[in-house]
Amino acid sequence: MSLENNTSLIDEEIIRKDESKGLHNLIYVKDLSLWHGKQQTLKNVELNIRDKGITVLLGPSGCGKTTLLKTFNRLTDLDPDIKTTGSIFFEDKDILTKNIDVYALRQKMGLLSQRPHPLPGTISDNIRYALKLKGIKSKVEQDDRIEYYIKKVALWDEVKDRLKYSANSLSIGQQQRLCLARGLAIEPRVILADEPTSALDPISSRKIEEQFQELSKEFAIVLVTHILRQAKRLADYTAFMYYGEVVEKGKPSDLFENPKTEIFKDYLQVGH
Amino acid sequence: MNFSLRYYIEKLRKSWMIISLVIILSLPFLIGISLLFKSWPLLVSTPISEIIFSSNWMPTKGNFGLWPFIFSSIVVSLLGLLIMIPFTLASAIYITQFAPNWISKVLRTVIDILAGIPSVIFGLWGIIVIVPMVSEWATSANSANASGYSILAAGIVVAVTTLPFVLNMLIELFESVPRELKESTLAMGASHWQTIKDVILKKIRPGIIAAFTLGLSKAFGETIAVLMVVGNVVQIPDSIFAAGYPLPALLANNYGEMMSIPKYDSALMLSALMLLIIVILFNYFAHKVIRFYQSKM
Ligand SMILES: Nc1ncnc2c1ncn2[C@@H]1O[C@H](COP(=O)(O)OP(=O)(O)OP(=O)(O)O)[C@@H](O)[C@H]1O
Ligand SMILES: [Mg+2]
């Protein structure tokens, strides 16, 4: 099978359709299935991820949201038991094929995990490491960017006097913003956020949400959340997953007002 | 009635726990004090610095310079540590980061088996395998002592006896690193090796230092396996092929013999006291390191 053909097919046909509707998509998930050994975790997932917008993934625990995110940056490679079929098209390539440069791919897909995991070292070390991975060697330039990204996540005023302190000395909410800054420092195209506020207090959560709203003007954001209200506040596009399938997807206004399936209705009910 | 019975049982249970606790807590002090008491006669007649740093060991003439033993102990345990470090680090990284599940399981079982082997068996194995090997090296290096019974042989054997102990600690350390930290690093585009080198090793560095310190301490106190291969000659070894005589070997070989010599048992008690203090210091240092970094990280 020829990859080239597949790629252009996806891109040209669908992109033209999308754009005629005024949509700009960055990632196209096509017939994606995934197995953990014998157990199938994702089932024929079809999903488009908006560029410059927030795509929210909803669904009960264990339905495969995290797994789907991990296929986007190929963290699924870590588990030798995982098998995938189907395609994920991103920037003219199917990123599930063998010959993709995973390191370059991962630098385009910034990850924000459920709990912040600062790297060992100081606050500025955390961002410096990302910059080093990006190939920025000049110390001056690194320092400039460290300031830039810490400001970008609205953390500067809180940490400017203690950049040389251990990153673990920050509060969890501050650590999460630091991790966001670190992720932005690798200059991604996409931000994959897996329940990024679930470990945070309401005020810190709100700060992250505000960040996301701001960042969605520049990036494609895929946000997994269990908080329905957060989904409603942030989503430009929503997909509801159930047992590995994308059961419903669409604009949040349509989706939340008129759920089509009983499962999603139940989910919305329980969520309230 | 029922209540008061319960009350007394509770009270008994509590006091029993406290008594056991007190005994356990005071054991090191009790041992230390009895050793100090026994070594007192020597300590009052000779300055401690002279006992520690003098190489003159002539019990019959009343000369009890312990330096040859202390020096042998230091050299043997450092040698053991040096040999052990690369092996344990490499194995721990392989087992926790690269090995497929089944290999990792097999290796862990082997380590547990090694950990359970009595050290006298390592000593015998040293005599059968390591000593002849070292003897060959010594011969080709034209060493004065070509017997193979040497501090090098002791270093190798002690490396093997402490290896499972240190390796288990290292494995536990590597596994204490959250999977998500690794994933976050990889997600920034770091390679697997960069992740290990820049993040995982850095994160657990204090633990690694502590593990090696505890390993050193164990090597320092290793007795039977060492005395079987170290040659037991009272001298300052001048090469790694020379025989040595570490402190624990001195104690194990001589206590109970020649006790008629005045102050001889005092000298042995003092060596035991020093051994105890050194090992406690090592352990204390290891815990300090962990504390220090835990508060910083
Ligand atoms: N390493 C693994 N091996 C086997 N099964 C796994 C593995 N990781 C995940 N799974 C399974 O895949 C399914 C989806 O898991 P996933 O973590 O993607 O769910 P999730 O939607 O993110 O759930 P949550 O909301 O609780 O985070 C679950 O049934 C889980 O048991
Ligand atoms: Mg999840």
Tell me the domains of chain A and their CATH numbers.
Answer: 3-271 (3.40.50.300)
Q: Is B236 left (phi over 0), alpha (psi -120 to 50) or beta?
A: beta
- The residue of A71, A82, A114, A117 whose CB has the most chain B CBs within 10 angstroms, and thus the best one to mutate to test that interface, is A117
> How many angstroms separate the CA atoms of B253 and B242, rounded?
19
Question: What is the helix (H) or strand (E) element at residue A174, kind and residue range?
Answer: helix A172-185
How far is B261 from A192, CA to CA, in rounded Å? 78
pLDDT digits (tens, 9 = 90+) for A47-101: 999 888 999 999 999 999 999 999 999 999 999 899 999 999 998 889 999 889 9
**Ligand 1 pocket, residue A67 CB under 6 Å:** yes
Question: What pLDDT is stored for residue A254 in this prediction?
Answer: 87
Coil, strand, or helix at residue B131? helix
Alpha helices in B117-263, H assignment, sequence order: 119-125, 131-140, 151-176, 179-187, 192-194, 201-203, 205-221, 224-229, 247-254
Q: What is the 3-state composition of chain B as percent helix, strand, coil, each rounded to the nearest 5?
A: 80, 0, 20
Q: Does B106 fall in a domain?
A: yes
Closest CA to A214 of A56, A69, A54, A106: A54
CA A187 to chain centre: 14
Cβ burial of A38 (10 Å; 0-12, 13-18, 19+) is: exposed
Strand order in the sheet with A245-250: A109-112, A190-194, A220-224, A53-58, A237-242, A245-250
Say if B128 falls within a structural domain.
yes
List all residues 6 or more positions away from B117 whose beta carbon is below 8 Å from its beta carbon.
none
Pairwise CA distance, residues A121 & B293, whole Å: 11
- Specify the amino acid at residue A149: Y
If one counts the domains in chain B, the total is 1
Q: What single-letter DSSP state applies at residue B97?
A: I
How far, in Å, CA of A202 to CA of A24, rounded? 32
CA A188 to chain centre: 10
Residue A213 near residue A190 (C-beta atoms within 8 A): no
SS3 of chain A: helix, strand, coil, percent, to 5: 45, 25, 30
Test site for ligand 1: of A38, A57, A65, A225, most ligand atoms within 8 A of the Cβ: A65
pLDDT at position A12: 63
In a domain, B11, yes or no: no
Residues 179-208 of B with CB under 8 A from A: 180-181, 183-191, 194, 198-199, 202-203, 205
3-state secondary structure of A55: strand
- Reported as half-sphere exposure (CB side, CA atoms, 13 A), residue B14 has a value of 6
Nearest to B156 by CA among B167, B144, B148: B148
Q: CA A208 to CA A126: how far, in whole Å? A: 18
Whether B234 and B242 have beta carbons less than 8 Å apart is answered as no
Of the candidates A169, A175, A111, A178, the residue with the CA atom closest to the CA atom of residue A146 = A178
Q: Determine the pLDDT at residue A8.
A: 46
Alpha-carbon dihedral sign for residues B175, B177, B180, B182: negative
Residue A97 sits at φ, ψ, to 5 deg, of -75, 160
A residues 184..203 contacting B (CB < 8 A): 186, 192
B247 domain-assigned = yes
Q: pLDDT in tens for each of the 272 residues of chain A?
A: 444 444 444 556 666 666 776 667 889 999 999 999 999 999 999 999 988 899 999 999 999 999 999 999 999 999 989 999 999 999 888 999 988 999 999 999 999 999 999 999 999 999 999 999 999 999 999 999 999 999 999 999 999 999 999 999 999 999 999 999 999 999 999 999 999 999 889 998 998 999 999 999 999 999 999 999 999 999 999 999 999 999 999 888 888 998 889 999 989 888 65
Q: Write the DSSP assignment of A220-255 as a string of letters.
A: EEEEE-S-HHHHHHH-SEEEEEETTEEEEEE-HHHH
B29 part of a folded domain: no
Residues of B in contact with A166 (CB under 8 A): 296-297
DSSP per-residue codes, B209-244:
HHHHHHHHHHHHH--HHHHHHSB---S---STTS-B
Residue B22 lies in a domain: no
Contacts of B5 (CB under 8 A, 6+ apart): none
pLDDT of amino acid B276: 94
User: Of the bound ligands, which one is closest to the alpha carbon of residue A64?
Assistant: 1
Q: Which residue from A67, A68, A224 has its CB within 8 A of the most atoms of ligand 1, so it is best to mutate? A: A67
Domain that holds residue B242: 52-296
Provide DSSP, A103-168: HHHHHHEEEE-SS--PPSSBHHHHHHHHHHHTT---HHHHHHHHHHHHHHTT-HHHHGGGTTSBGG
The whole-angstrom separation of Cα B80 and Cα B161 is 9
Q: Is B34 part of any domain?
A: no
Cα separation, B102 vs A8, whole angstroms: 43
Does residue A41's CB lie within 6 angstroms of at least one atom of ligand 1? yes
- In the numeric block, which tokens belong to residue B295? 């508060």
> Does residue A104 belong to the interface with chain B, where contact is any CB pair within 8 Å?
yes
Going residue by residue through chain B, which has 297 residues, state the pLDDT in tens, using 9 for 90 and above.
Answer: 567 888 888 888 888 899 999 999 999 899 999 999 999 999 999 899 999 999 999 988 889 999 999 999 999 999 999 999 999 999 999 999 999 989 999 999 999 999 999 999 999 999 999 999 999 999 999 999 999 999 999 999 999 999 999 999 999 999 999 999 999 999 999 999 999 999 999 999 999 999 999 999 999 999 999 999 999 999 999 999 999 999 999 999 988 877 788 889 899 999 999 999 999 999 999 888 888 777 665
Contact call for residues B162 and B215 (beta carbons, < 8 A)? yes
- Contact present, A88 and A29 (Cβ < 8 Å): yes
Extract the tokens encoding B41.
């006669």
What is the Cα–Cα distance from B210 to B215, expressed in whole angstroms? Answer: 8
Give the H/E segment covering residue A182.
helix A172-185
Interface mutation vs chain A, best among B102, B182, B184, most A CBs within 10 Å = B184
Q: What does the angle CA B13 – CA B15 – CA B19 come to, to the nearest 5 degrees?
A: 120
Q: Under an 8 A CB cutoff, do B189 and A182 touch? A: no
Residue with tokens 């392989």: B94
Q: Whole-angstrom Cα distance, residue B144 to residue A57?
A: 76
**Would you say B126 and B157 are in contact if contact means Cβ atoms under 8 Å apart?**
yes
Q: Which CATH number covers residue B117? A: 1.10.3720.10
Determine, yes or no, domain membership for B192. yes
